Structures are given as C-alpha cells and as structure tokens.
A and B are shown apart, each in its own frame.
Chain A
C-alpha cells in the first residue's frame, strides 16, 4: 500500500511566463507584451475577488477603476477589518530618501538573500521596482505616514537590512494602508463598480472547461449557499498560519479558499515555508486563543538577552550585567539584534532549549529597553514605541519601562501558498492568487515590512496589468449558469460537507480538534523539524482526521448564523493542508530560511542549504484526500544574486 509520504515527481514547471532579458526591463517588457482590453469592453467582464486585505482591497478598487465589474467577498462584517490591519511595523520602499545607499537593486538583493535564495528573481525585482510607486499611491490617498518636522516622510530601519527604507505610521502601518485601500474600494462600491459581499465565505471554486469561472460561497448570516460566476477569479484570502491554532493571525483567517482551489487543480507551492516571528508575547496558559506580536521595530532599540546561567530565576533587574548573555549581539556582531526573523527566532529557541529561558515555563527571552531609556530618555522611547509598550502592559500587566519585556517566537506568516507564474496566475487558467495567498516573492523567509509591500504591489499594480492580458485573450467565454453539471456537482459537494458536519453530532468541539492539530504542528513542523518528527506527524494527522469525522459536534443548523459550523468547516481543510506541509518539510532535507531541518546545519548551528538538490520551488498537485500528491519542481535560476551561505555575523 502506498502512503501519503510516497509522493511521485511529475513534470517540472518550465514556463513561468517571466520574460527574458535584463532583469530591470522584464516588467516593462511584460506589460508591453500583455494584451489590453478596450476600456469600453471592460464593463462586460466580471472579476471575482475573494478577500479585502491589502492585496484584495487594492485589486478590487483598481480593477473597478479600470472599468471591470468586480464582485468581491470577505468573511468579516466589513472589508475594513481584514487582518492586514494588524501589521504594525511598516512598508519597505527603495526611495533612498535617506541617501544611505539604498536602491531598487539593493532592495531586490536584500529580499532574495533574506529569502535564502528560494524566490524567483524576476518577481522579486519587479516587487522592488514597484515599491516606490506604492508609497506615492498611498500618500495620494491620504495615508498618514510618519513625517519629519520639515513635512517630508520619515523612515526607519528594519530587521535584516542596513538601510532605512521602512515607511511607517506609528505602530499601525497596516491599519493605515488597509484603510487607504478600503476607502478606494468604498468609492468604487458607491459608484456601483464593485458589488461587495461582506460576511460571505468562499467554500469552493468552480472550474468549467479547465478555466476558473466562479465560486461557491456561504452567506454567514442566513447560511444560504450560493454560486457566483465570473470571467476570472482572484484569491486574496491570506495565509494559512492558523493551521497551528496559536498564531498571530486573526481568529477567523483561514485556508479554505486556497485549499479548495488546490483541490480543484491549483498547485500549492512550498507549504512548509512558514515564518515564526521572534518578538511575540509568550503564552500564559492553555486558555490562550491567539498570540500577539510586538513589532520587530522594537529590536532597533531593545536589546535581547537571557541569563548566562541555566535556571537563573532572579528577577531581571537583579541579574548583573556580566551575568547576562546578549546572545544575538554576541553571535552576530554586525547585525546584532537586527538579524532576520528566522535567525532571531531560532536563536531564542536554542537558548530556551538550553534551559536559559525566562518567565513561565522558561519559554521566553528578555527584550530590554533600559539602555535605550538611558540613551534617548524615557520621553523619546515613549514617542517611538508608546503604543506597543501600552499593548504589552495591557496583556501582561507588567510595565516594560521598568521591567524588560518577555518575548517568544510565534507563527506569523506563511511564505508558501498557491503557485503562481509571473502573471500571478495559478495552474488553473483564470485563477489568480495575490498577496500572502501566493508563494511568489519571499522565498523561504520574508523580511520585515515586506508583506505590506507585496500585498499592495500585487493588488494595485501587478494583477491589474496581467489580468488584462488573460481577459483580452479570452474575450467571449461561454456564460455559466447554475444548471451546468459542473456547478451542480460542486454545489452538491459543498452542501454535503456542511450537512455531514452538522449530522455527526459527536462529543468533541471544533476548537478541541483545532488545538490538537496545532500542538502537533508546532511540535513537529514548527521552528525545528526532523525526519522522525515529521513522520510521526504524518502518521497522526490522518488519525485526527478520522476521529474528526466521527466525533465532531456542531450545534445549530446550516440555515443560520453559526460560528461553530464556520470553524468546523475550516478545520476540515486544515486537516488536509497540515499533511501537505509536513510532507513538504519532510521531502526538503535541507534547511533554508524559516525551514530548519535539524539534520542539515552548519557546525555552528546555522541553516545549511543544499543548492545542488533543492534550488527549486516545490509545487504540489492534489490527487485526493490522504493520497500521495505529485511534486512538480520549478528550478530557480539565479542570474543576478549569486547564492551564498547567508551571513549576518
């Protein structure tokens, strides 16, 4: 009998649609070669956009501005609440306003290197080029970025780079950028160009004659399951970090849209590339429902340390300077506390594993502002980080001005996602994926302040250009209606799944399953992964799945507002996606970026890549629940940034 882990390798992905030629001319070339849709014909085309975060909100607004008819969905009660809103730190752009040696090429270089050489060069370069336009766009919308006294924009530095290219709006940059996109979208809703469906969740994708033609979605208020049709479908539904149950994602962020698309033929790339963010507030107990991130900008002025001695339980202020280990400054003298996220997280895990962690359960390290307060004065620290300090104090009941903060890594972002080509199109024609939902730009590790940049680059600038080409080449698609046999089938499958969830009437709550899966994933597919651990997880996940369908209890009915049903239905998909994440992690026997295989490390414990074997993106094809998937490799070619062992020492 073949098991899930006995995957097969299929044909490699050879055509990424990335143009050839000098890298800085590729985006221009692609835009020029892309066919255009006559403005008068655009209103005849309907585009579905799922999600209203930075990527979805900006795409919906821009497509509508161009004249397309947009039908947009979000599960939240308002498009203004998508989880992009929680991004704190900032957005990168190669403006070089600081005259500190920044350039488009340097942002491109930093991003490829930061991603540990597992991203596609053409895409990353385009991202760096577009970064400068994003700032212009957002300022024009009235996004209140931080400014200097002279009225010009302020910037700061962020983890993993040595220039100040991060634009910010206090600790609420994501909120302000999202509200900018939301307001642009609102203008289009008012103009009748966007038909907005809030509190509506996509449950499946409709593929007719090999093309994405619509979705099945459930109205979360009435429970009504409906079909929506279009000429193209754009998924901007975010990442899948909530597989881990505890993460910094919003409670309802989920993977259903991307996973259902995967089941319908879209390849899923690099699912094991997940980012564990180093500066989160440690958990306090089993009741914990989510983890809260503290912006990594805190690492600009805070110093990270643990006691030199194991099991030192003295309060931090009583531990003398020479008995503290500022381990990041010691191991990485030139980047110090500003090393990339994956490195900072792993270093924290290592010192905790050595028994030098602090706080409850020894799962924490100190982030200390005493020196910064001495150097800058309390007032300056307050002005810079006040809202973060308040947030910390509210959650922990400790005063970070007096006592060092305690931090610990937590799941934060997923670099993996639906495989897309240079046009951001998945392997299902007419299905596009943008923002965190795709895998395209961050390789194996995302740099700080780059998620906002990518979401807006995709939504404002890339997708609106490339989707034109698709629609221009497919101008007269046959209308699809509910009567189509494919639609009937997808609809029936969705209804059956919902009905089954309600019918089991077992003895375990949805959260209990989600928590169990999350703990398993954190242990075996978290910050450090091993062959034996991943095999254990692969054995356990199908058992949990089987138990889920036997013991799940969902009260109420499907024809009403039913949050337990929503949760349970999302867990169905997590229980499959988790398996693919573990398999991907198992097959990639190298370490790179956020993916650390204990078997593959340098003598001093750093991640050791194996470029000869693994310089590819792993795009997985679905073959059935629990069935061994097919691996398609997209070889990554580095013409401009030569892969080296990352060094931040």
Chain B
C-alpha cells in the first residue's frame, strides 16, 4: 500500500503546530497503525528529519498509552485502540490525517503526545478504596453477587486512554470518571467511601478544566473498551444521592 499521511507536528508545548505531509510506501495490510508510523519514522531519521513523537507502549490494547485522532476519529475507524488498528482498514492510495487528542485539559507536549495527568489527579481525588496493606479481611468474608461483580468489572476495564475526552465535542471526562465511580461504588468494599468518592472525583474533574456533559454519546462510541453511556447516568445518580445525603447532614 502507498499512503499519504498528514501529521500534526509541534515542537513543544509552547510552539505553534501545523500539519505536515509525508508519503509512505510498501505498507502491508497486516501492519498495525503504529508499525506504519514506525516505517515513517525510520524513513525520517535516515533523511535527517526528526521522527514523529507519539505515545505507545504495550501495543496490545491494554496500557492505554496510544492516543491518535485518525481522520477525525479517536483511535481511528475501528472500535479499538490505535495499536490494535491494522492497515487493512485502509485503502491503497488513501490520505490519512493524524492528530493528537484535542482537549484543553490535555495540553500537547510534542507532535502527537499529550499530557493526560489530569486523569491521574481525578483518581487521586477518590478513585480508590482505602485498604492499607495488611488490613484486609479474608477474601470470602464478603460475598459479592455475580451481577454486581460483573458490573464492577465492566467499568473497571477502562484503560484511561482519554479517547472519550478526545471524541467529546465538549472535551468532557464524564465517561472516564464514571467508569471508576461505578466500579468502586457498586462493591460492598467501596460502600464506606461511596459518597465522598463521587463528590470528590467530580469536583476534581471540574477543576481540571474538562467540559460539561451534554450526553451526545460520542465518548461511548469512541471507547475502545466499550464502557457504556449508561455509566454516566449511574454516576449522576450517585452524585445526586451523595449531594442530598450531604445536605441532610
């Protein structure tokens, strides 16, 4: 396959960025999208240019590092991570636009690399169960109904890639935040911190400058792990419940 790539190049956080055009040839349909970028980068290095910077690590769809907007879609045309997108999803002769996540809470560091530390701070605000090492009761002391365990797992699958934010017209982080709130709040172990967790995480999310949610659903469509849109509704219920409870106290 022969392709034309239009790639966002930006020297650093303070520099102006622009799209640059490159040609790549001999691309096999079995290559992953990132392996195609490897080919481009080898080419650039040998021609004395700087290779395109992009985040990637496990290349098997689980670490959540890769983060490209491809032809306007977060992670490209398939519902998966960029590293698991293969070139067979494209046609010979295609022109492909490659951009970083676009959101004010995710500033660009270089080229296609953005700063997602806002997500870490949301987790730090309450995305955990307080259980210092050594304090745990016997694992079978607290049975968890299978339906609840499955619900928790479905939300715990979030890989923190940020596609939900990149896809959202408002740059909201509701799907990310709700995934963790729902994972922990449904479990009996998470019950003691149920209210503070949702209130603190939502407050941090707002403080980070993410946009407001208008339930357009783009986040759930882009999510490579299939976190459902209803996740947001569940978190809103949790938040209302916690707010009312706080009001009564």
Q: Which residues from chain A sit less than 8 Å from chain B, CB to CB? A: 58, 61-62, 65, 76-81, 83, 85-86, 95, 97, 133, 135-137, 139-142, 144-153, 169-170, 172, 175-176, 179, 182-184, 186-187, 189-190, 198, 221, 248, 250-253, 284-285, 287-290, 292-293, 391, 394-395, 397, 460-461, 464, 507, 509, 511-512, 553, 555-556, 560-561, 563-564
Give complex CA distance A139, B189 in Å. Answer: 8
B142: chain A residues at CB < 8 Å are 139
B130 touches A187 (CB 8 A): yes
- What is the interface of chain B mostly: helix, strand, loop, or mixed? loop
Q: Give 5 closest A-B pairs by Cβ, nearest first.
A: A151-B143, A183-B128, A140-B136, A140-B131, A190-B124
Give complex CA distance A97, B65 in Å. Answer: 37
- Among A147, A186, A512, point to the contact of B127 (Cβ < 8 A): A186
Give complex CA distance A397, B78 in Å. Answer: 13
Give complex CA distance A110, B25 in Å. Answer: 51
> Is B6 an interface residue when CB atoms closer than 8 A count as contact?
no
- Among B44, B59, B134, point to the contact of A290 (Cβ < 8 A): B59
A555: chain B residues at CB < 8 Å are 44-45, 48-51
Q: What 5 new A-B contacts, CB under 8 Å, besides A58-B133, A78-B119, A186-B123?
A: A81-B65, A83-B58, A153-B139, A555-B49, A555-B50
- Shortest Cβ distance from A146 into B: residue: B149
A-B pairs under 8 A by CB, number: 211
* Contacts A136-B139, A287-B35; A144 near B187 (Cβ below 8 A): yes
A142 touches B190 (CB 8 A): yes
Distance from B136 Cβ to chain A, minimum over Cβ atoms (Å): 4
Give complex CA distance A198, B121 in Å. Answer: 13
B149: chain A residues at CB < 8 Å are 144-147, 151
B140 touches A251 (CB 8 A): no
- Among B45, B57, B61, B88, point to the contact of A76 (Cβ < 8 A): B57
Distance from A500 Cβ to chain B, minimum over Cβ atoms (Å): 18
Q: Which of B26-34, B164-172, B211-219, B230-238 contacts A (4 or more CB under 8 A)?
A: B26-34
* Range for the number of chain B residues in contact with chain A: 35 or more
Give complex CA distance A215, B31 in Å. Answer: 38
Give complex CA distance A563, B120 in Å. Answer: 23
> Is B178 an interface residue when CB atoms closer than 8 A count as contact?
no
**Per-position contact with A for B122-159: 1 when CB-CB < 8 Å, else 0?**
01110111111111111110111110010011001101
Give complex CA distance A414, B15 in Å. Answer: 42
Give complex CA distance A98, B145 in Å. Answer: 19
- Among A149, A169, A391, point to the contact of B61 (Cβ < 8 A): A391
A79 touches B120 (CB 8 A): yes
> Which B residues from 34 to 61 make CB contacts under 8 A with A?
34-35, 38-39, 42, 44-46, 48-51, 53, 55-61
Q: Which of B91-99, B108-116, B241-249 contacts A (4 or more CB under 8 A)?
A: B108-116
Q: Which residues from chain B sit less than 8 Å from chain A, CB to CB? A: 11-12, 28, 30-32, 34-35, 38-39, 42, 44-46, 48-51, 53, 55-65, 78, 80, 84, 86, 88, 109-110, 113, 115-117, 119-120, 123-125, 127-140, 142-146, 149, 152-153, 156-157, 159-160, 183-184, 187, 189-190
Pull 16 A–B residue pairs with CB atoms less than 8 Å apart, ordered by A.
Answer: A61-B133, A62-B133, A81-B63, A86-B62, A86-B63, A136-B138, A140-B135, A153-B140, A179-B156, A251-B56, A287-B39, A289-B32, A460-B133, A461-B134, A464-B133, A553-B46
B109: chain A residues at CB < 8 Å are 221, 561
A145: chain B residues at CB < 8 Å are 149
- Shortest Cβ distance from A190 into B: residue: B124
B140: chain A residues at CB < 8 Å are 97, 152-153
A85: chain B residues at CB < 8 Å are 58, 62-63
A141 touches B189 (CB 8 A): yes
A250 touches B49 (CB 8 A): no
A150: chain B residues at CB < 8 Å are 143
- Shortest Cβ distance from B52 into A: residue: A563
- Among A61, A80, A142, point to the contact of B187 (Cβ < 8 A): A142
* Contacts A145-B149, A284-B30; A189 near B138 (Cβ below 8 A): no
A78 touches B110 (CB 8 A): no
A285 touches B30 (CB 8 A): yes
- Shortest Cβ distance from B12 into A: residue: A560
B124 touches A187 (CB 8 A): yes
* Contacts A251-B57, A391-B61; A140 near B117 (Cβ below 8 A): no
